[in-house]
Amino acid sequence: MSSRSLHPDRRQLLKGFGATVTGFAVWPNGRRAYAGFGPNDALNIAGIGVGGKGGSDIDQAGNHGRIAAICDIDEKRLDSKAEKFKDAAKYVDYRKLLSELGDKLDAVVVSTPDHTHAPASIMAMRMGKHVYCQKPLTHSVWEARMMRQIAKEKNVCTQMGNQGTADSGLRSGAEIVQSGAIGDVKEVYVWTNRPFKYWKQSPDIVARPKETPAVPKHVHWDLFLGPAPVRPYHPVYHPHDWRGWLDFGTGSLGDMACHTANLVFKALKLELPNRVSAEHAEINSETYPAWAVITYEFAARGDLPPVKLHWYEGARDGKRNLPPESLFPAGFKPSDSGSLLIGSKGQMYSPSDYGSKQMLWPEKQYEGYKAPTPYIPRLEGGRGTDDNHKREWVEAIRAGKPSHAQSNFEYSSRLTESMILGNVAIRVNKAIDYDPATGKVTNAPEAAQYIQPELREGWKI
d(CA 338, CA 322): 10
How many CB atoms sit inside 10 A of residue 293's CB?
A: 20
Sheet bearing 44-48, strands edge to edge: 89-91, 66-71, 44-48, 107-110, 130-133, 158-160
Write out the chain's pLDDT in tens, 461 residues.
433 335 444 334 434 443 223 322 232 333 333 346 766 688 999 999 999 999 999 999 999 999 999 999 999 999 999 999 999 999 999 999 999 999 999 999 999 999 999 999 999 999 999 999 999 999 999 999 999 999 999 999 999 999 999 999 999 999 999 999 999 999 999 999 999 889 999 999 999 999 999 999 999 999 999 999 999 999 999 999 999 999 999 999 999 999 999 999 999 999 999 999 999 999 999 999 999 999 999 999 999 999 999 999 999 998 999 999 999 999 999 999 999 999 999 999 999 899 999 999 999 999 999 999 999 999 999 999 999 999 999 999 999 999 999 999 999 999 999 999 999 999 999 999 999 999 999 999 999 999 999 999 999 99
What architecture is domain 3-164?
3-Layer(aba) Sandwich (3.40)
Helix/strand number for the chain, H first, E second = 15, 18
CATH number of 166-205+234-378+414-451: 3.30.360.10
Per-residue burial over 195-224, b if 16 or more Cβ lie within 10 Å, else e, is: bbebbebbeebeebeeeeeeeeeebbbebb
Give the DSSP letter of residue 254: I
For 117-167, write each residue's pLDDT tens digit. 999 999 999 999 999 999 999 999 999 999 999 999 999 999 999 999 999
C-beta atoms surrounding 433 within 10 Å: 16
The angle that helices 141-154 and 409-428 make with each other, rounded to 10 degrees, is 160
Burial of 457 (0-12, 13-18, 19+ CB in 10 A): exposed
- Domains of the chain, by residue range, sit at 3-164, 166-205+234-378+414-451
Give the separation between CA 163 and CA 407, rounded to whole angstroms: 9
Beta strands in 144-259, from DSSP E residues, in sequence order: 158-160, 185-191
The predicted model scores a pTM of 0.92
Instruction: In whole angstroms, give the CA distance from residue 112 to residue 135.
Output: 10
CA-CA-CA-CA dihedral for 198, 357, 401, 32, to nearest 10: 50
